[in-house]
A = this chain, B = another copy of it.
Amino acid sequence: MATITASERRAVAKREYDAFLAVCPSRRLLERISDKWVALVLAALGGDGPLPGETTVEGPRPLRFSELSRRISGVSQKMLTQTLRALERDGMVTRTVTPTVPVTVSYELTDLGRSLQGVMRGIKEWAESHMEEVLTHRDDYDHRQRGTAD
């Protein structure tokens, strides 16, 4: 009998994943992580920038729900919870509950999460550092709308 373990099958399958294919599971994973909230949560947990009210810039550390909420301005509690749950389920963050009163919950990146954060941070930083260039292109594009036959 061919004793093929799950990990063996997976090792083979690994090379087959192709997000260009609509039916490939990696396509759905790509959809999940191609999300602004994911990018922002990972960046926050990854220790990008100082926390509001804090002057010292420190590295990554566990953040509480309320800290994340304050850091990522404009995020609703629903989206934050939802995003954190998904990231936890996918093994990218850990959720730690400390039974104080009231309860304290903190989130932290796992190794897997950190590896993703490496690429996701790139996106947030790209957006910030290329904003001007993009704005310039938009101006050009919008103006050129008529002058085509110039």
* Chain A interface residues toward B at CB < 8 A: 10, 13-14, 17-23, 25-27, 29-31, 33-36, 38-40, 43-44, 48-49, 71-74, 88-91, 112, 115-116, 118-120, 122-124, 126-138, 140-142
B20–A134 contact, CB under 8 A?
A: no
Given contacts A112-B137, A132-B14, contact A19 B40 (CB under 8 A): yes
B30–A127 contact, CB under 8 A?
A: yes
- In angstroms, how far is the closest chain B Cβ from the Cβ of A25? 6
> Which residue of B35, B89, B120 is within 8 Å of A137 (Cβ)?
B89
CA gap between A140 and B140 in the complex, in Å:
51
Please classify the interface of chain A as helix (H, G, I), strand (E, B), loop, or mixed, using the class held by over half of its residues: helix
CA gap between A2 and B128 in the complex, in Å:
27
- Chain B residues contacting A44 (CB-CB under 8 Å) are 20
A22–B89 contact, CB under 8 A?
A: no
B71–A20 contact, CB under 8 A?
A: yes
CA gap between A78 and B134 in the complex, in Å:
23
Chain B residue nearest in CB terms to A39: B34
CA gap between A38 and B130 in the complex, in Å:
16
A91–B22 contact, CB under 8 A?
A: no
- Chain B residues contacting A122 (CB-CB under 8 Å) are 118-119, 122
Chain B residue nearest in CB terms to A34: B36
- Chain B residues contacting A38 (CB-CB under 8 Å) are 34
